[in-house]
Structure formats: C-alpha cells, structure tokens
C-alpha cells in the first residue's frame, strides 16, 4: 500500500499548516499504532495504520467520493464568471487538497441537465468511468417537446438500438452512436441508456430522431442509482461499500 508522510496526513485532515503540525508532533500529541511520534517524516499507511491525536482517533481517507443531485442552472466547471458552479454548492471543507489529490468531477452535465454527478479525488475511478473502452452505462430520464404516437415508438427505439447517426455540434463532428436502449413511459417521456459521453450526446440523439429534449436528468451511472432522498443541489459522501455494491470499484 502507498504510504504518506505523517505531517502531510495531519495537514490534509485539518490540523493546520505543516508548521502547525510540527508543533503538535513536538508536543507528543500524535501517536501511530499506539506509539507517540514526534518526527514529521514518518510514513503512515492510511489504509492500515491507526492515527490518534490527543488520544482521539483520526479517520484517514485517501480518497473522497461524493454523489450530487445536480440542479439546473449550475455549470460543471471549477470557475465560471457568469454562473454558479457545482463546486459552489459544496461546503468549504471540500475546498482543499486531499491525500488523493484535488476533488474533481467524473464527467460533466450540461447547465440545464439535472441529476447524478460524481465528484472524487480518485483519478483511477474517473478514468475507468469515463474511458470509452469500459462501456459504463449512463441512464437518463427525458421529457420530449413533441408527443410520439404509440405506433411510431418501436421504429425510433430500433434506430437507437442500431446506433443512431448524430449531426455535428460545436467542435464535435458527426458520429454513429453505439447501440443505446430507449424505453417509453408515454408519448413524451422516456429513458435512455448509453455507454458513451460525447458532447450534448443525448440531445443530439433525440434531435436525430426528429424531436427535442425539454427536460433531462441522469439517474444512474452503471448500477449506482441517484439517491431519491437527495434534493436538487444536495450531495452526500458515498461509502466504499456503496461503490463496491454498484461495481464501480
């Protein structure tokens, strides 16, 4: 397992600057596996060792995993001069460098798209979920502008399952999409499961079928479902067990 310097761990867990941490160490307040440590360069395994400060346990985490129910009107960006960003919705305690690195988004959602957004410090997970080679599914619920008659729905479903051709949008050229699963709830409501994440892909697929998206929400990434208890703009941390149960790690 990868180890980290003790002063780095303490600093990243809210015990102040490296200078503050050294004072804490010199005072004999820090112990690793029951042994007092005064040296800042002692290496600790966050996944295996026990760390205490003044006798209280310090849970060490290498990575953070956050599920957010993104609301419309916020952008998936670190900074934006015109709109609020998803990072503006987070508590200030998340605005720091963690042991695993900086908190970042796993993919993006358009400004008017709601639903499941993952934020993490785990670059390995991000690569696995966003790589075209892994074919991780993303599930969306859609409301359409124009009602599709019952008799026309099977044909459109077949076009999506065959891999619908989409027109260029911005810098992203025309493209033959991979097979996707379209399910109808009514003439104006459906769900779509895709394994890609091209620019405005869902909207472009619907446009290629002669319709327009008026509401879009992502409800799942792989087997990880959006928590229905999360209100728009709310978030919570995910446990490793939740990620394991969803087959994401």
Predicted pLDDT at 1? 62
Q: Which residue has the tokens 């400060």?
A: 53
Count CA atoms within 13 Å of residue 200 on its CB side.
Answer: 18
Rg (CA), the chain: 23
**pLDDT band per the 50, 70, 90 thresholds, residue 13:** confident
What is the C-alpha to C-alpha distance for residues 17 and 120, in angstroms, rounded to an integer? 23
User: With contact defined as beta carbons under 8 Å apart, do 46 and 99 qualify?
Assistant: yes
Q: Look at residues 122, 83, 88, 90 and name the one whose alpha carbon lies nearest to residue 106.
A: 122
Token pair for residue 164? 């619908």
Residues 6+ apart with CB under 8 A from 212: 144, 145, 146, 203, 206
Among 78-82, 102-106, 212-216, name the one with the lowest average pLDDT. 78-82
Of the listed 49, 110, 169, 172, which one is catalytic? Answer: 110
What is the C-alpha to C-alpha distance for residues 104 and 121, in angstroms, rounded to an integer? 6
| pLDDT tens figures, 183-214 | 999 999 999 999 999 999 999 999 999 999 99
Domains present along the chain, CATH in parentheses: 4-58 (3.10.290.10), 65-133 (3.30.70.580), 138-221 (3.30.70.1560)
pLDDT (average), residues 152-181: 97
Q: Tell me whether residue 7 is one of the annotated catalytic residues.
A: no
CA 28 to chain centre: 39
């Amino acid at each position: 397992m990868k180890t980290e310097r003790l002063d780095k761990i303490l600093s990243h867990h809210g015990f102040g600057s490296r200078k503050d941490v050294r004072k804490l160490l010199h005072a004999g307040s820090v112990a690793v596996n029951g042994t007092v440590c005064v040296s800042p360069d002692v290496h600790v395994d966050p996944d295996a060792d026990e760390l205490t400060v003044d006798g209280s346990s310090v849970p060490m985490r290498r990575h953070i995993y956050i599920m957010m129910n993104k609301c419309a009107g916020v952008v998936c960006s670190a900074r934006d001069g015109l709109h609020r960003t998803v990072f503006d919705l987070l508590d200030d305690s998340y605005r720091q460098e963690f042991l695993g690195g900086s908190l970042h988004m796993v993919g993006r959602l358009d400004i008017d798209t709601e639903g499941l957004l993952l934020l993490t410090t785990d670059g390995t997970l991000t690569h696995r979920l966003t790589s075209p080679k892994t074919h991780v599914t993303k599930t969306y619920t859609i409301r359409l502008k124009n009602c599709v008659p019952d008799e026309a729905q099977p044909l459109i479903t077949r076009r999506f399952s065959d891999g619908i051709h989409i027109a260029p949008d911005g810098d992203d050229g025309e493209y033959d999409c991979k097979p996707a699963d379209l399910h109808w709830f009514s003439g104006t409501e459906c769900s779509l499961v895709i394994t890609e994440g091209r620019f405005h892909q869902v909207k472009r697929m619907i446009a290629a079928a002669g319709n327009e998206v008026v509401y879009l929400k992502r409800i799942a990434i792989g087997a990880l479902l959006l928590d229905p208890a999360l209100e728009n703009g709310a978030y919570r941390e995910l446990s490793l067990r939740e990620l394991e149960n969803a087959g994401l790690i």
